[in-house]
Amino acid sequence: MQTVSFKSILSQYKVIFFDAYGVLKNYKGLIPGIEQTLAWLDAQKKAYYIITNDASRSPQLLSQSYHNAGLKMITPERIVSSGMLAKEFLELKVKDGIVAYLGTKESAYYIERPGVEAVSLCKLSTADMDKVNALVLLDDEGFDWFDGLNKAVNLLRRKTIPAIVANPDGAYPVSKQDVGIAIGGISWMIEKITGRKFIRFGKPDSQIFMLAWDIVQGHFPGLSKRDVLMVGDTLHTDILGGNKFGLDTALVLTGNILTEDAETRIISSGIAPTHICESAVVDFH
Amino acid sequence: MQTVSFKSILSQYKVIFFDAYGVLKNYKGLIPGIEQTLAWLDAQKKAYYIITNDASRSPQLLSQSYHNAGLKMITPERIVSSGMLAKEFLELKVKDGIVAYLGTKESAYYIERPGVEAVSLCKLSTADMDKVNALVLLDDEGFDWFDGLNKAVNLLRRKTIPAIVANPDGAYPVSKQDVGIAIGGISWMIEKITGRKFIRFGKPDSQIFMLAWDIVQGHFPGLSKRDVLMVGDTLHTDILGGNKFGLDTALVLTGNILTEDAETRIISSGIAPTHICESAVVDFH
Amino acid sequence: MQTVSFKSILSQYKVIFFDAYGVLKNYKGLIPGIEQTLAWLDAQKKAYYIITNDASRSPQLLSQSYHNAGLKMITPERIVSSGMLAKEFLELKVKDGIVAYLGTKESAYYIERPGVEAVSLCKLSTADMDKVNALVLLDDEGFDWFDGLNKAVNLLRRKTIPAIVANPDGAYPVSKQDVGIAIGGISWMIEKITGRKFIRFGKPDSQIFMLAWDIVQGHFPGLSKRDVLMVGDTLHTDILGGNKFGLDTALVLTGNILTEDAETRIISSGIAPTHICESAVVDFH
Amino acid sequence: MQTVSFKSILSQYKVIFFDAYGVLKNYKGLIPGIEQTLAWLDAQKKAYYIITNDASRSPQLLSQSYHNAGLKMITPERIVSSGMLAKEFLELKVKDGIVAYLGTKESAYYIERPGVEAVSLCKLSTADMDKVNALVLLDDEGFDWFDGLNKAVNLLRRKTIPAIVANPDGAYPVSKQDVGIAIGGISWMIEKITGRKFIRFGKPDSQIFMLAWDIVQGHFPGLSKRDVLMVGDTLHTDILGGNKFGLDTALVLTGNILTEDAETRIISSGIAPTHICESAVVDFH
């Protein structure tokens, strides 16, 4: 399988969409050289955005974590998270009452607004169950799994309310070898047990690309989808979703897929990126 | 279960998105009163569009079939079909060569353009297989199933190319009692046998709503999603998709769902429309 | 929907297979009249067995729990549990080393034997991971879910070992309204995340019926499958499995399925019992 | 990945179960050397049986086809086909009326008996629909797919009758590169469209192994499952099914799995055979 240098393909595009985990950083920290790459893109006047299936924290807090890691250029405005779609959905479709959630306290950012109360499902009293108007799965941390997952199943059995997952991933890497079960994986189980259909926000679903596209078009009127490159490490989310939205895509090998497996994975899934690059790092040597 | 009259909810919305089959017409022909309803909407200056998982014919031919049935107001501009998304995808992602398809000759409209050849999969010669750059499932008619389905499986086993379905429905009604297997149902089988992932265009996927939304916004700058109502007869496509996109939704009982089953279906799926109406017909008595 | 009295159908059968939960007992305790029914069956020389997807405890402890509840006639010999199939599998296919499990301490009964060590997955040291030769999911209690489920996923990612679930149920009733997630439901999630295929023991799979059948044939040489009735409250396990094995089946309405839902459930699933009875209780009035 | 010679493992077993396609023969004809191997097994007094997911013809006709190909030792008594399980099921569960089927005329052998009429679904008159008491999918040939598949969907929508598939395979090889869609693959689509649950007979389900085991035990009283080896070319049917039933298993590389892919396939599915052999041929050099 032949890879091309990331730099060599950039001249074709005006805007870059980056996946976060496995592209900018991984379990070891920042991908070496990524800071210089982003700085160079800024110098070249290439616009870039982070398109992430992360609903654990607000764009502000996500941005802060990049700042802490050394990437000062990742401002909240550059972050498009799946949580933002859950937020828009709730604003349009849930007018009042309680929105119950599974996730960290920070993830409740995507729910809270005047007139609507965000309540962690594990803390929901039986008396308050009547007031629940939606269930949102935001993150796999911040609650006891036995209690939370059983309560989610029974809430959906009792009430016909929208059920939302703001991160459709089944798992995410936590070390070189191991993964953690993501809230999207948990939603599959709840769906199969209850027969209820979750609404999923995040790659590969088009709605997150649409949101990013709307933001970009505000800055670059007349932009064509041909001018945008989606860069990611995962075939079933970044590449499938980018392709479907009509974007060119670049698979990088710094995350989920090892160099030696890339070809097999592409052939067996039928999901082919436009380009394959070792990493999203521009080599200045 | 309580239904409301269609007329009573219309004052809340500026734009109506109608599903076609089961809403405007069914196996017996036009829903009685629908012509007067559409004329009345025109008189009221309510905009309306047809959002349909139909890729069997071009918007022009679809419009013509409505004209023939008596609905002169359904112009091609009012039709948003899933085939249009397949067309946009192919224009962005397939630059040349052959696009093989399953469907009628008329459905090839969504493929044909200068530089790209549409070839019915059953007529594809072995010699030409090398030139195929995408497979598109458009319609369940126009080809021999044994030959076409086996060829589709083997094409995807041999070549890593995009596989697209422009109608995600599993079945469609053909009489009071019976259904026909739709091309979307066939795609499930091909996907499971080959392990390849199809790209699906059409409700409930957001991309068709996005396309309709872009068209509407061109005509009504500043429109909010709150001003749009999606009307459909199917929970898993019209209502789920409309809800997810953030629209209010109205389930009508002139198609897939019988009045006596509506409540059970809503509860067991967890997919709840904003309104339930007997039909999309305005009663002038 | 028409039900028949349980007593009226019994003359056709020599042997009765009872599901346990929802048939003999439910969340409120024993089904009223079940003790007299079993005593009457004994007096009539009808043989009966309990066929249960329960791997939480040994047949001895399961029998003891029936004794404690007042059913002295349910001896260990009358219990055929899905755990017994896991036990036979492990004896045949795992020769030594560690078998890691999720479940209570009592459920480890189905693993322990000379030469093989049963270790709760949450207590497995990294150093011992090399010695693990199988993973068995026995029960949803007895371990921390966050820790246990994540460890199960990563164990299967690292090692190509048999993965077994000794209870294929997705959920089980815990009160009039609520259910608990069963270990079988958890296995669906792990399977989808890892891509690994679990071996499932328990109804509706034939192997548990085969084991019961072998036991019965030992006592009644020349018995025909026509002489055996499977009685259960769940269509997808008891009735589907009994039907498939060639037995007549009786659905009772004291468990999973409410009287008013029975007909809809049978029609929508296509799983039809031979008989439908209000309960498995013989009325002596 | 290390393979062992087939001969070297045979001393451990008294009885061999062979899968047919991919083990004894493939698209090119008999596997070279298989005739001598079976003759040698006869001389060694090793018993062997053919365990096949083939319901296209009776054991007599299947045996005849082996005779024609040169394997005179494969008598009907040595053949255990998934069709035989469908036959037993129908005898136990369908007392009269019509059994509708999809398949060749020869496949109807598994249905026909006094009092029951086998009718090809494409030839079923509307008037006779009332008399249909079961639907059986036997083979992918012998009927028009468009007509047959649509009729199968609508029959199951109208009638709550047992639906059976006597070959659970999704596809089968027809040439070095290509496969054919099998009737099991078709059943997945019908199941998903109708929501009905098919009863599946054939590997990996235990019931076919149980039938073979009953036959073998009749000839070898006191035989242990440890004395039996299942030989197959497919992980998800032969090896998974054999393992689950408690048998040792040997994967051969003359069929579905190429030598270079075996290790990847085993690791990614988690289905591990006891042995891996290049072929089921004994080398006499």
Closest CA–CA distance from residue D209 to any residue of chain C (Å): 10
> Which chain B residues contact residue A225 at CB under 8 A?
92
Q: Are residues A256 and A223 in the same domain?
A: yes
The model's confidence at residue C258, banded by pLDDT at 50, 70 and 90, is confident
Q: Are residues B236 and B259 in the same domain?
A: yes
Query: pLDDT tens digit string along C174-227?
Result: 998 899 999 999 999 999 999 999 999 999 999 999 999 999 999 999 999 999
Residue D284 has pLDDT above 90, yes or no: no
Can you tell me the distance from the alpha carbon of D157 to that of A211, in angstroms, rounded to the nearest whole number? Answer: 41
Can you give the pLDDT at residue C2? Answer: 86
Name the residue among B197, B267, B270 with its Cβ closest to that of A240: B197
Q: Are residues C181 and C94 in the same domain?
A: yes
Query: pLDDT tens digit string along A157-174?
Result: 999 999 999 999 999 999
Q: Are residues B49 and B112 in the same domain?
A: no
Best CA proximity match to B211, nearest among B111, B62, B97, B87 = B87
- Token readout for B135 is 């497979």
> Which chain D residues contact residue C197 at CB under 8 A?
236, 240, 269-271
Sign of CA dihedral A105, A106, A109, A114: positive
Residue C1 has pLDDT above 80, yes or no: no
Can you give the pLDDT at residue A284? Answer: 81
Q: CB within 8 A of C59, min separation 6: which ones?
A: C76, C77, C79, C81, C84
**Under 8 Å between Cβ of D166 and D99:** no
Interface test with C, best of A158, A189, A198 (most C CBs within 10 A): A189
Q: Are residues A87 and A195 in the same domain?
A: yes
CB contact under 8 A, D246 and C88: yes
Residue identified by tokens 């000759």 is B105
> Which chain A residues contact residue C189 at CB under 8 A?
181, 185-186, 188-189
Map residue B95 onto helix, strand or coil.
coil
Whole-number average pLDDT of chain D: 96
Can you tell me the distance from the alpha carbon of A281 to that of C273, in angstroms, rounded to the nearest whole number? Answer: 63
Can you give the pLDDT at residue B237? Answer: 97
Can you tell me the distance from the alpha carbon of C272 to that of C244, in angstroms, rounded to the nearest whole number? Answer: 11
- Domain-embedded: residue D64: no
Name the residue among B145, B171, B177 with its Cβ closest to that of D158: B177
The model's confidence at residue C15, banded by pLDDT at 50, 70 and 90, is very high
Q: Are residues C169 and C232 in the same domain?
A: no
**Under 8 Å between Cβ of B99 and B155:** no
Its ipTM equals 0.95
> Which chain C residues contact residue A154 at CB under 8 A?
177-179
More confident residue, D99 or A176: D99
Can you give the pLDDT at residue D260? Answer: 87
Q: Which residues of A sit within 8 Å Cβ distance of B? A: 88-89, 92-93, 156, 160-163, 194-197, 199, 205-207, 210, 225-226, 236, 240, 243-247, 266-272
Query: pLDDT tens digit string along C102-155?
Result: 999 999 999 999 999 999 999 999 999 999 999 999 999 999 999 999 999 999
Query: What is the DSSP secondary structure assignment for residue C250, as one 8-state letter?
Result: E
- Domain-embedded: residue C70: no
Domain boundary among C140, C167, C200: C200
- Domain-embedded: residue B164: yes
Nearest residue in chain C measured CA to CA from D94: C246
Distances (CA, A) of C107 to B51, B112, C137, D37, D271: 55, 63, 9, 46, 25
Q: Which CATH number characterizes residue C158's domain?
A: 3.40.50.1000
Query: pLDDT tens digit string along D127-185?
Result: 999 999 999 999 999 999 999 999 999 999 999 999 999 999 999 999 988 999 999 99
Query: Chains with ≥3 Cβ pairs under 8 A against A?
Result: B, C
Domain boundary among A200, A229, A259: A200
Query: Chains with ≥3 Cβ pairs under 8 A against D?
Result: B, C
Whole-number average pLDDT of chain A: 96
- Domain-embedded: residue C67: no
Query: What is the DSSP secondary structure assignment for residue C72, as one 8-state letter?
Result: T
- Domain-embedded: residue D247: yes
Q: Are residues D87 and D193 in the same domain?
A: yes
Is the pTM value of this prediction over 0.80?
yes
CB contact under 8 A, B162 and A92: no
Name the residue among C154, C157, C188 with its Cβ closest to that of A189: C188
Domains in chain B, number: 2
CB contact under 8 A, A153 and C181: yes
Name the residue among B177, B188, B193 with its Cβ closest to that of D181: B193
Query: pLDDT tens digit string along D225-262?
Result: 999 999 999 999 999 999 999 999 999 999 888 888 89
- Domain-embedded: residue A76: no
Q: What range does the domain containing D112 cover?
A: 83-200
Nearest residue in chain B measured CA to CA from A204: B199
Q: Are residues A150 and A166 in the same domain?
A: yes
Q: Are residues A120 and A211 in the same domain?
A: no
Can you give the pLDDT at residue B253? Answer: 96
> Which chain C residues contact residue A171 at CB under 8 A?
153, 193
**What is the 3-state secondary structure of chain D?**
CCCCCHHHHHCCCCEEEECCECCCEECCEECCCHHHHHHHHHHCCCEEEEEECCCCCCHHHHHHHHHHHCCCCCCHHHEEEHHHHHHHHHHHHCCCEEEEEECCCHHHHHCCECCEEEEEHHHCCHHHHHHEEEEEECCCCCCCHHHHHHHHHHHHHHCCCCEEECCCCCEEECCCCCEEECHHHHHHHHHHHHCCCCEECCCCCHHHHHHHHHHHHHHCCCCCHHHEEEEECCHHHHHHHHHHHCCEEEEECCCCCCHHHHHHHHHHHCCCCCEEECCCCCCCC
Kindly give the parts of chain A with pLDDT less than 70: none
Q: Are residues A192 and A269 in the same domain?
A: no
> Which chain C residues contact residue D197 at CB under 8 A?
236, 240, 269-271
Interface test with C, best of D156, D199, D200, D225 (most C CBs within 10 A): D199
Closest CA–CA distance from residue C78 to any residue of chain D (Å): 22
Each residue's pLDDT expressed in tens, for chain B with a length of 285 residues: 789 999 999 999 999 999 999 999 998 899 999 999 999 999 999 999 999 999 999 999 999 999 999 999 999 999 999 999 999 999 999 999 999 999 999 999 999 999 999 999 999 999 999 999 999 999 999 999 999 999 999 999 999 999 999 999 999 999 988 999 999 999 999 999 999 999 999 999 999 999 999 999 999 999 999 999 999 999 999 999 999 999 999 999 998 888 888 999 999 899 999 999 999 999 887
> Which chain C residues contact residue D271 at CB under 8 A?
197
Distances (CA, A) of B61 to A93, B47, B74, B100, B107: 36, 21, 11, 22, 10
Can you give the pLDDT at residue C176? Answer: 87
Residue C281 has pLDDT above 80, yes or no: yes
Give percent of chain C above pLDDT 90: 93
- Domain-embedded: residue A123: yes
> Which chain C residues contact residue D246 at CB under 8 A?
88-89, 92-93
Name the burial class of residue A124, with classes exposed (0-12), middle (13-18) and buried (19+) by CB atoms within 10 angstroms of its CB.
middle
Can you give the pLDDT at residue B249? Answer: 98
Name the residue among D93, D162, D246 with its Cβ closest to that of C92: D246
Q: CB within 8 A of A210, min separation 6: which ones?
A: A245, B206, B207, B210
The model's confidence at residue D263, banded by pLDDT at 50, 70 and 90, is very high
Domain boundary among C168, C200, C232: C200
> Which chain B residues contact residue D150 at CB under 8 A?
180-181
Best CA proximity match to D252, nearest among D11, D8, D24, D12 = D24
Can you give the pLDDT at residue B233? Answer: 96
Name the residue among C145, C171, C189 with its Cβ closest to that of A185: C189
Q: Are residues D100 and D12 in the same domain?
A: no
Map residue A192 onto helix, strand or coil.
helix
Q: Are residues A171 and A224 in the same domain?
A: no
Query: pLDDT tens digit string along A188-241?
Result: 999 999 999 999 999 999 999 999 999 999 999 999 999 999 999 999 999 999
Q: CB within 8 A of B22, min separation 6: which ones?
A: B173, B232, B233, B234, B252, B254, B255, B256
- Domain-embedded: residue B70: no
Can you tell me the distance from the alpha carbon of B58 to that of B138, in angstroms, rounded to the nearest whole number? Answer: 11
Interface test with D, best of B124, B137, B177, B181 (most D CBs within 10 A): B181
CB contact under 8 A, D199 and C240: yes
Can you give the pLDDT at residue B154? Answer: 97
Closest CA–CA distance from residue B5 to any residue of chain A (Å): 21
